[in-house]
């Protein structure tokens, strides 16, 4: 490590930093996982510099930990074995936008909001929105998604191609710019979600979407989580295209009301968005209203007014902060699981009951169109007993999701935090196959070791 440090310092000067504060900022700090700082942080500016860094690290068997915006939730940026954090901050250029093809090529440090700002005048947008303003390289690495996934998919659906530097220093281009291909193994999707354990993403070709002519939003309260989920299932079977369907449980609604000055009924609530033509979104909202009423909805409102829509969705996006404000002197510990839609109501209800049983506060937010939901546990700071309870709860929840044919992680990745459940979820065969691939691509195990496997 000392040798690598010397070489990087000489080569990158001030763009290589071993200061304590920089190192600590690059370790994971936002969940129950302890922070594990890297030995140094380097800020490359192009793919050739990334190759150099990889070669230097490989020569000396020093771990490489890729770093985007540091918003991941399962310890992805921790350095359990030490090593070099490769921060993509300076690789933040939008390289090209092909409006006719509705795609673009970006460097990995571009954030999703920066990309959408860049696209402002094109009539196009990039639809994947996890809560945080994550970097696109990081979003690809963790197979991120968010509220739009029910309509626009996850990162696996919008990454057309990647350029990555492999542990050998070789540069791989996974695909070309065609929208569709059947040319060999799907390396694009193998890299998406590989959490930096196979290579360092240095460029992304992304599919964009035309901004719809019109959008409408609806809020709709239900007597129970079950009634809300049944309404969603019925709506899908109706073939109604929804752009977003978010579930808030009663406790989340209470938090949001308090935080955002709203007066929504404090029962389970769905927040929806429809994208289409003016007539289309009006019709869709009306149809959904009927389905909702059939499922016992007590209040239903919809709007196409941009200010009103923004106000509603801002409240949803602020839900994390609203929930934190429920217990301001606590740490928030966010987790997520995903189950088949038919099991969602039961999964959410049991999650709430278990929280109550063990005496934890854990409001639920759900991307209900995908069967994906988040529990945000509020843990008194420095309270080891409560933290232990929370860790037990996380295991319980992961196992619940797996027992329902679901996954222990819908959109946060495995990282360090969910490694214990991977084999329970997929079986030894799949984990052995992942390990075989990892060993083949990264025989020295220098790429983000200690994550996923």
| Helical segments of 206-305, H only | 225-237, 250-260, 278-294
Which strand (E) or helix (H) includes residue 159?
A: strand 159-165
Of 57-65, 113-121, 270-278, 313-321, the segment contacting a copy of itself by CB under 8 A is 270-278
With a CB cutoff of 8 Å and minimum separation 6, the contacts of 165 are 47, 50, 51, 54, 171, 172, 199, 200, 202
Residues paired with 269 in a beta bridge = 221, 248
113 binds a copy of itself (CB under 8 A): no
193 binds a copy of itself (CB under 8 A): yes
- Walk across the sheet containing 94-98 and list its strands: 94-98, 103-106, 200-207, 159-165, 171-173
Residues paired with 365 in a beta bridge = 248, 374
Shortest Å, Cβ 332 to a copy of itself: 20
Select from 252, 297, 330, 407 the one that contacts a copy of itself (CB under 8 A). 407
175 binds a copy of itself (CB under 8 A): yes
Of 36-44, 233-241, 301-309, 388-396, the segment contacting a copy of itself by CB under 8 A is 233-241
Of 23-31, 77-85, 97-105, 320-328, the segment contacting a copy of itself by CB under 8 A is 97-105
Compare residues 26 and 438 and give the one whose CB is closer to a copy of itself: 438
Shortest Å, Cβ 72 to a copy of itself: 10
238 binds a copy of itself (CB under 8 A): yes
Select from 170, 308, 356, 383 the one that contacts a copy of itself (CB under 8 A). 170
Q: How far apart are CA 75 and CA 375, in angstroms?
A: 17
Show contacts with a copy of itself in window 239-268 (CB under 8 A): 239, 241
Show contacts with a copy of itself in window 358-397 (CB under 8 A): 367, 370-372
Compare residues 387 and 419 and give the one whose CB is closer to a copy of itself: 419
Select from 10, 21, 182, 263 the one that contacts a copy of itself (CB under 8 A). 182
Q: What angle do CA 340, 341, 346 make, to 5 degrees?
A: 90
Compare residues 356 and 405 and give the one whose CB is closer to a copy of itself: 405
Show contacts with a copy of itself in window 31-70 (CB under 8 A): none
Of 52-60, 269-277, 294-302, 355-363, the segment contacting a copy of itself by CB under 8 A is 269-277
Q: Dihedral (C-alpha) 104, 106, 112, 118: value to the nearest 10 degrees?
A: -70
Which residue, among 405, 413, 403, has the nearest Cα to 335 in the 3D structure? 413
Select from 68, 108, 410, 450 the one that contacts a copy of itself (CB under 8 A). 410
Shortest Å, Cβ 333 to a copy of itself: 18
Q: How far apart are CA 291 and CA 113, in angstroms?
A: 34
Which residue, among 392, 439, 440, has the nearest Cα to 420 in the 3D structure? 392
| Helical segments of 94-199, H only | 112-119, 136-141, 149-152, 155-158, 187-191
Sign of the alpha-carbon dihedral angle for 406, 411, 415, 417: negative
Q: Which two tokens stand for residue 308?
A: 């009103």
DSSP string, 333-380: EEEEEE--HHHHHHHHHHHHHHHHHHT-B--EEEEGGGTEEEEEEEEE
With a CB cutoff of 8 Å and minimum separation 6, the contacts of 449 are 63, 80, 81, 83, 197
Size, binding site for a copy of itself by CB under 8 A? 102
Compare residues 90 and 283 and give the one whose CB is closer to a copy of itself: 283
Select from 2, 185, 307, 382 the one that contacts a copy of itself (CB under 8 A). 185
CA 289 to chain CA centroid, nearest Å: 30
Question: Which conformational region is residue 359 in: left (phi greater than 0), alpha (psi within -120 to 50 degrees), or beta?
Answer: left
Shortest Å, Cβ 17 to a copy of itself: 30
Show contacts with a copy of itself in window 318-357 (CB under 8 A): 338-342
Q: Is there a contact between 216 and 281 (Cβ–Cβ < 8 Å)?
A: yes
Compare residues 128 and 251 and give the one whose CB is closer to a copy of itself: 128
Shortest Å, Cβ 14 to a copy of itself: 31
Shortest Å, Cβ 118 to a copy of itself: 17
Select from 55, 89, 189, 317 the one that contacts a copy of itself (CB under 8 A). 189
207 binds a copy of itself (CB under 8 A): no
79 binds a copy of itself (CB under 8 A): no
Which residue, among 175, 198, 124, has the nearest Cα to 453 in the 3D structure? 198
Q: How far is the first Cα of the chain from the last one, in angstroms, to the nearest whole number? A: 23
Show contacts with a copy of itself in window 128-147 (CB under 8 A): 142-145
308 binds a copy of itself (CB under 8 A): no
Select from 413, 417, 449, 450 the one that contacts a copy of itself (CB under 8 A). 413
From residue 10 to residue 29, what is the string marking binding to a copy of itself with x (rule CB under 8 A)? --------------------
Select from 22, 30, 287, 349 the one that contacts a copy of itself (CB under 8 A). 287
Select from 237, 263, 329, 385 the one that contacts a copy of itself (CB under 8 A). 237
């Amino acid at each position: 490590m000392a040798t690598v440090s010397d070489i990087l310092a000489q080569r990158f000067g001030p763009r290589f930093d071993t200061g304590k504060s920089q190192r600590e900022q690059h370790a994971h700090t936002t969940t129950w996982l302890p922070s594990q700082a890297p030995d140094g942080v380097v800020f490359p500016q192009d793919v050739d510099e990334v190759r150099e860094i990889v070669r230097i690290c490989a020569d000396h068997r020093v771990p490489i930990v890729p770093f985007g915006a540091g918003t991941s939730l399962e310890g992805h940026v921790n350095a359990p074995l030490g090593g070099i954090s490769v921060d993509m901050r300076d690789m933040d250029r939008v390289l090209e936008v092909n409006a006719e093809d509705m795609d673009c090529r970006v460097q990995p440090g571009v954030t999703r909001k920066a990309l959408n700002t860049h696209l402002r005048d094109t009539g196009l947008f990039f639809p994947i929105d996890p809560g945080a303003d994550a970097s696109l390289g990081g979003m690809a690495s963790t197979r991120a998604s968010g509220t739009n996934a029910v309509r626009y998919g996850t990162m696996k659906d919008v990454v057309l191609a990647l350029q990555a530097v492999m542990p050998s220093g070789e540069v791989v281009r996974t695909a070309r710019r065609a929208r569709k291909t059947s040319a060999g193994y799907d390396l694009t999707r193998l890299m998406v979600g590989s959490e930096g354990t196979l290579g360092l993403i240095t460029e992304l070709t992304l599919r964009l979407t035309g901004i719809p002519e019109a959008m409408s939003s609806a809020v709709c309260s239900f007597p129970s989580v079950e009634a809300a989920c049944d309404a969603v299932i019925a709506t899908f079977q109706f073939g109604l295209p929804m752009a977003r369907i978010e579930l808030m449980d009663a406790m989340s609604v209470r938090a949001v009301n308090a935080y955002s000055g709203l007066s929504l009924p404090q029962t389970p609530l769905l927040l929806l968005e429809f994208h289409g033509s003016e007539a289309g979104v009006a019709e869709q909202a009306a149809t959904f209203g009927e389905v909702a009423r059939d499922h016992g909805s007590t209040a239903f409102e919809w709007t196409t007014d941009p200010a009103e829509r923004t106000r509603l969705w801002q409240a949803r996006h602020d839900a994390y902060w609203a929930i934190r404000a429920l217990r301001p002197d606590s740490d928030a510990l966010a987790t997520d699981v995903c189950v088949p839609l038919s099991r969602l109501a039961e999964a959410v209800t049991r999650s709430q009951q278990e929280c109550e049983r063990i005496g934890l506060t854990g409001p639920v937010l759900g991307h209900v169109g995908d069967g994906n939901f988040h529990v945000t546990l509020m843990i008194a700071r420095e309270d080891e007993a409560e933290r232990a309870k929370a860790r037990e709860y996380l295991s319980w929840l992961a196992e619940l999701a797996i027992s329902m044919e679901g996954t222990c992680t819908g959109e946060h990745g495995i990282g360090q935090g969910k490694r214990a459940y991977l084999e329970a979820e997929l079986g030894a065969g799949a984990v052995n196959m992942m390990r075989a691939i990892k060993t083949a691509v990264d025989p020295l195990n220098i790429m983000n070791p200690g994550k996923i496997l």
